[in-house]
Each structure stands twice: as structure tokens, then as C-alpha cells.
Amino acid sequence: MTLPLFPLSTVLFPGCQLDLQIFEARYLDMLSRCLRQGSDFGVVCILEGREVGEAARRFADIGCAAGIRDWQQRPNGLLGIRVEGARRFRVLSSRVQRDQSILAEVEWLEERAEHPLLAEHADLAALLEALAEHPLVAALGMGGVAAGQQALANQLGYLLPFTEEAKLELLAIGDPPQRLERIQQLLEQLQGDG
């Protein structure tokens, strides 16, 4: 599967919302193609390089497909889009195009079926509900009551202030209970550091 990539300084998770301002011609062209074709693009976290200018020198080999959910012209004249994370993928190979955009061959990672939350997830579920009160989270329409273990793990992995390295580790874990367990460990580390 060939997927255009949008390297960013963030890690997108399935089911999570991300707002972007687009001003570079390469990404305007890419998004125009995605809108015309009704296709997704891939969001990968930059490991070395910058979001603007030349193509990122190095990015994570795991990412999340993003579907465009809404777009509008911003007051500053830039195109604003809201995307939603879809499926996780692994980058098998990539190539930089003449316009500095990146095309990648990817393989889709297996997504487990959604399972109901268990009693042991009560604290994490309460944390997600509390996060819904934050204005930035509310503006994205996220937080609140999770539909199940997968949704809870994805939203907490995305919204909590973990390092990009920790978020990439979480994104790579395919088993929701295991991802929730790792989130709990990372939270305990955060509390221990604070």
C-alpha cells in the first residue's frame, strides 16, 4: 500500500482528532489529492528534522493514517483542517519526491476488536472523563466516556503529556489491555517525577 506521509512533531492515534494549519504547497497538493480521491494520508512523528522546509531527515517507522474530517479557511488565510486517526501502519520504505513530499510503502497493523472496559480500568476511565473538561480537549471533541479498552488506550496515549518516544511505544502496542497497563506505568513514572 502506498501512502503519502505528513511528518509532524506529534504522534496521532486511531480515533483521535488533530487540527492542522496548512501553508506549504507540497501539503496543499497532497491534501487536495486526498480530498479528490477520498483517501487518507499517513501521520508519522519526526525523529530528526523539522515540519517545514525540506523533508524530515528521519521519522518513526510506525504511524497512523489520517482522514480529513473538516476544513476551513483560517482568518490568517491559511487552510485549517481537522483530521481523525484511522488505522496504524508500519513504514516499509519511503522516498522523497521532487517537491519534498514523502511517499511510503506501508503495511497495516492488526487492530484488535473493541472490548468493554473492566473494573481495573476505572481510574483511567475517570482520568479520560476529567480530561474532557480541559478546553483544548473539549475543542477537539475528545475525552469523556470511552467506548471500550481500545478507545480509552488511544485517547489517553494521545492526550496525556508523555514523551514522543513513550507515545510511539504505546502506538506500537497492538493489545489494548497491554497498552492500558503501559499507560498506567507511565502515569506512575510521571507522578514519581513530579
Q: Name the domain boundary from 108, 129, 154.
A: 108
Sign of CA dihedral 79, 136, 51, 46: negative
CA distance 124 to 13: 17
Please indicate, yes or no, if residue 88 is contained in any of the structural domains.
yes
Does 155 share its domain with 93?
A: no
Residues 140 and 74 grouped into a single domain: no
- pLDDT 10s digits, 107-123: 999 998 899 999 999 99
CATH number at 157 reads 1.20.58
Tens-place pLDDT, residues 29-56: 998 899 899 999 999 999 987 766 666 7
Separation CA 148–CA 56 (nearest Å): 35
pLDDT of residue 194: 57
Last residue of a domain, one of 108, 132, 163: 108
Its pTM stands at 0.92
Q: Looking at residues 133-149, what average pLDDT do you find?
A: 92
- In this prediction, residue 48 carries a pLDDT of 87
Same domain, 13 and 78: yes
On whether residue 154 sits in a domain, the answer given is: yes
**Residues 152 and 80 reside in one and the same domain:** no
pLDDT of residue 192: 80
Q: For residue 81, give Cα distances in angstroms to 13, 19, 99, 105, 159.
A: 17, 6, 21, 24, 19
Burial label for 73, CB within 10 Å (0-12, 13-18, 19+), is: exposed
DSSP three-state, residue 31: helix
135/69 same-domain check = no
pLDDT on residue 146: 93
pLDDT digits over 152-187, tens only? 999 999 999 999 999 999 999 999 999 999 999 999
Range of the domain at 157: 119-193
Residues 43 and 78 in one domain: yes
Judge whether 49 and 96 are in contact, CB under 8 Å.
no
Q: What is the CATH number of the domain that holds 101?
A: 2.30.130.40
| pLDDT category of residue 57 using cuts at 50, 70 and 90 | confident
The rounded mean pLDDT for the chain is 92
Cβ 149 vs Cβ 116: under 8 Å: yes
First to last CA, the chain: 43
- What's the full length of the chain, in residues? 194
Q: Are residues 8 and 104 in the same domain?
A: yes
pLDDT confidence band for 75 (50 / 70 / 90): confident
Number of domains, the chain: 2
- Segment (H or E) for 192: helix 176-193
Average pLDDT over residues 84-103: 93
Query: Does the CA dihedral 42-15-173-158 come out positive or negative?
Result: positive
- Asked if residue 87 is part of any domain, the answer here is yes
